Amino acid sequence: MTILTELHKDHVNLNKLLVVLRRKVDKLKAGDPPNFNLMGAVIHYIAHYADGYHHPREDKLYDYFRGRSSVLDTHLTDCAAEHGKLKLSSTQLSEAIDGVLHDAVIPMGELVDLLDQFVRLQLDHLDSEEGVLFPLIDDAASEEDWVKLDALLVEQTDPLFGEHKAAEYIDLYRDLIADINATQ
C-alpha cells in the first residue's frame, strides 16, 4: 500500500464527517436545533487529526515531489495554500462553536456561513487532491519513490476511524453512528 492509498483512506473517512456536517448545515438552514456538542467534536477531530497529522504528512509528500514538473509544482503550491485556508477555517469554526457552547451570542446566519464555508472548502480540497494532484504524483512516482516514502512517512493510526479507537474518540464515534442512523 502506498502513501497515496493511505491518504485516500483518510479522505474517505473525512468525507464521512463532512456528510454529517453537511446535514448540520441543512438542519441549521431549516431552523432545527443542531447538536452543537457533536458538531464541535467533529471539528475538534478534524483540527487535531487532519490539521495536525494528515496535512503535514501530505505536505512532506508534496515536498518530496516538488521539482518533478512545472504542472505538478503549480498544483503543489496551490494545495499548500489550501492547507493554510483549511486550518484557518477550522479554527474560526471551532471558536464559533465553542462560543455557542459557552453561551456566547453568535448570529445563526454567521455560524451557518462558517460551517457551510468549512464544508465547501474541505470538499473542494478533497476533490482537487483526489482528482488532480494524486494522479499527477502517481504518474511522477517510481517504485523506488514509494519505498523511500514508506520509510519516511510512517502511517499513524486514525484515532476515530482506525481499528483501535482512542478513548477520547469512542464517544464521538458512537454519537456519529447514532446521528447517521437517526437521520436515514
To the question of domain 3-182 being in CATH 1.20.120.520, the answer is yes
Q: Which residue has the higher pLDDT, 28 or 182?
A: 28
3-state secondary structure of 112: helix
Does residue 21 have a pLDDT over 60? Answer: yes
d(CA 80, CA 85): 9
Contact 18, 68 (CB under 8 A): no
- What pLDDT does 181 receive? 67
Does residue 1 have a pLDDT over 70? Answer: no
Give the residue-averaged pLDDT of 98-124.
90
Q: Which residue has the higher pLDDT, 22 or 163?
A: 22
- What pLDDT does 159 receive? 53
pLDDT > 90: what percent of the chain? 35
Other C-beta atoms lying within 10 Å of the C-beta of residue 27: 16
Residue among 9, 10, 11, 43 nearest 24 (CA) = 43
pLDDT digits (tens, 9 = 90+) for 32-84: 777 788 888 888 888 877 777 888 888 899 999 999 999 999 999 999 999 88
- What pLDDT does 173 receive? 65
Residue among 171, 95, 87, 83 nearest 128 (CA) = 83
- What pLDDT does 165 receive? 52
Listed as own residue / partner, the contacts of 6-14 with beta carbons closer than 8 Å and 24 or more positions apart are: 6/155, 7/54, 7/57, 7/58, 7/61, 7/129, 7/134, 8/130, 8/134, 10/50, 10/54, 10/158, 11/126, 11/129, 11/130, 13/158, 13/160, 13/161, 14/46, 14/50, 14/54, 14/122, 14/126
Inter-axis angle of helices 3-29 and 36-45, nearest 10 = 160
Give the residue-averaged pLDDT of 110-116.
91
Inter-axis angle of helices 108-128 and 70-101, nearest 10 = 150
User: Whole-structure pTM over 0.75, yes or no?
Assistant: yes
Label residue 24 by pLDDT band (50, 70, 90). confident
Give the residue-averaged pLDDT of 17-46.
81
Q: How far is CA 122 from the centre of its chain?
A: 6
Contact 147, 97 (CB under 8 A): no
Domain ranges, ordered by start, for the chain: 3-182
Angle at 14 between CA 9 and CA 19, to 5 degrees: 130
Give the residue-averaged pLDDT of 74-97.
91
